[in-house]
Amino acid sequence: MTHSVDQAIRIKELTYRWPRQCADCLAISHFAVAHGERVFLHGPSGSGKSTLLALLGGVALPQTGRIELLGQPLTALSAHARDRFRADHVGFVFQQFNLLPWLSARDNVLLPCIFSTRRRERAGDPQQAAARLLTHLDLAPALWQKPAAELSVGQQQRVAAARALIGQPGILIADEPTSALDAPRQQGFIDLLLAETAAANAALLFVSHDIRLAAHFDRTVALADVNCAATEAAT
């Protein structure tokens, strides 16, 4: 059990079925991501990647099994406590539309500090932390005060990454964050994300159906290899 404390993400004997579905969507006997580890998880469309992220976010609850994040059994917490845990410890970047369009880029980055005292405290001076992250992620200061809706998709994704990173959450979850970008920009964004998560010593679970993006990660996992439900369905 001492081992589990080293794990950022640990899943055991998990099964999950969406409401009113007749088959399990996920059945994972074991899956883990270590602290600071950067994992590329891939699988075809509809294979349950986003479902897994919903479970890790604590938004959905598995029917059986156990999910531990940073040593905390998520499945033992109340819905409200899971929401708090997510605010404190997990940063998300999604495929698109990550930002509140009516807030400026900088205010979007600051959002986690509003929702989580822990992340506000860990950010030190949140304004400075936001400025530092935006600079590292290559966003010109002229854009910081602009409403998010006026940024290009690539700029928006970088703002989203800065937001996921502010206040140093232990876990970063990215769900196809590059699929709205053109090919040359994809690798650039991934490199920035990898560098920043490494600097923050956060674990990164990067999910995509595009195996070509896997190059610079510590480890690559095919969802089909850990998800028995998929193999059952396939056979």
Partner 1 sequence: MRAVLLLALKSAWARRLTLGIALVAIALASALLLAVERVRSDARASFTQSVSAVDLVVGARSGAVQLMLYAVFHSGSATNNMRWESFEALATHPAVEWAVPLSLGDGHRGFPVLGTSAAYFDRLRYGDRQALTFSAGKPFAEVFEAVLGSEVAAQLGYRPGDHITLSHGMAELGPEHADKPFTVVGILAPTGTPVDRTVHVDLAAISAIHLDWAGGAPLPGLAIPAEQVRKFDLQPQEITAMLIGLKSRRDVFRLQRHINGYRGEPLLAVMPGVALDELWQTLATVEQTLLALSALVVAVALAGLTATLLAGLNERRRELAILRALGAGPREIFMMLTVEGLLVTALGVLLGAALLAAGIVALGPLLREYGVHLALRPPTASEWGLVVSILTTGLLASLVPGWRAWRISLADGLTPRN
Place of tokens 């602290």: 35
Residue 185 C-beta-side C-alpha neighbours within 13 Å: 15
Q: Which of 5, 59, 199, 233 binds partner 1 (CB under 8 A)?
A: 59
Min separation Cβ 102 and ligand ATP, Å: 26
48 binds, among Mg ion, ligand ATP, partner 1, none (CB under 5 to 8 A by kind): ligand ATP
Q: Tokens in use for 129? A: 């932390």
80 binds partner 1 (CB under 8 A): yes
84 binds partner 1 (CB under 8 A): yes
Could you write out the DSSP letters of every residue in 65-78? EEEEETTEEGGGS-
Provide the residue count of the chain.
235
Choice between 83 and 218, CB closer to partner 1 = 83
Given phi > 0 = left and psi -120 to 50 = alpha, else beta, which region is 104?
beta
Choice between 25 and 27, CB closer to ligand ATP = 25
Strands 203-208 vs 171-175: parallel, antiparallel or unpaired: parallel
The SS3 assignment for 172 reads strand
94 binds partner 1 (CB under 8 A): yes
Site stretch for Mg ion (CB under 5 A), options 13-21, 50-58, 96-104, 138-146: 50-58
Q: Which of 97, 121, 128, 231 binds partner 1 (CB under 8 A)?
A: 97
CB 51 within 8 A of CB 60: yes
Choice between 133 and 219, CB closer to partner 1 = 133
Q: Which of 44, 46, 73, 101 binds partner 1 (CB under 8 A)?
A: 101
Q: Which residue type sits at 205?
A: L
CB 127 within 8 A of CB 107: no
Binding site for partner 1 (CB under 8 A): 50, 53-54, 57, 59-60, 79-80, 83-84, 86-88, 92, 94, 97-103, 111-112, 114-116, 175
Binding site for Mg ion (CB under 5 A): 50
